Structure 1
Amino acid sequence: MPRNIKQILIWLLFGFIIYAIITSPERAADIVQAVWDIIAQGFRNIGQFFNSLID
């Protein structure tokens, strides 16, 4: 992908994120919390997997 197009898409994504936060901060916070929960659960599952390998 050409550099200019990639940079434009990144700025559009950044602008959309800012717009979403400004127009609905509660919903944006809920989305961030849900994403964080998914990431944290993934790390817990990986830790549990390796722990079960050790046992």
Structure 2
Amino acid sequence: MLKKILTWGGIAFLVFFIAFRPNESADVFKNIGGGIMDVAEGFGDFFTSLVA
């Protein structure tokens, strides 16, 4: 039950954040995407150095 409440609360917060602060939320998503790309690039470099 608590998990369901926290999930819906998180979704509500996300919708509120996007609706009332669109520029800030876009920056957050850009930063998250950049971090994921950095991690993926690090794994790629690691496996490239293993094979080469």
Sort the TM-score into its range (normalised by shorter chain). Answer: over 0.9
Structure 1 stretches of 4+ moved >3 Å: none
- 1:46 to partner: Cα distance: 0.1
What is the alpha-carbon distance in structure 1 between the residues aligned to residue 27 and residue 3 of structure 2?
Answer: 28
Correspondence list, 1:1-55, <5 A? 4-55=1-52
Consecutive unaligned residues of structure 2, counting only runs of 5 or more, are: none
How many residues matched?
52
Q: Say which structure, 1 or 2, has more relative contact order (CA 8 Å, 6+ apart).
A: 2
Give the aligned CA root-mean-square deviation in angstroms. 0.5
With the length of structure 2 as denominator, give the TM-score of the two structures.
0.96
Consecutive unaligned residues of structure 1, counting only runs of 5 or more, are: none
What is the percentage of aligned positions where both structures have the same residue? 29
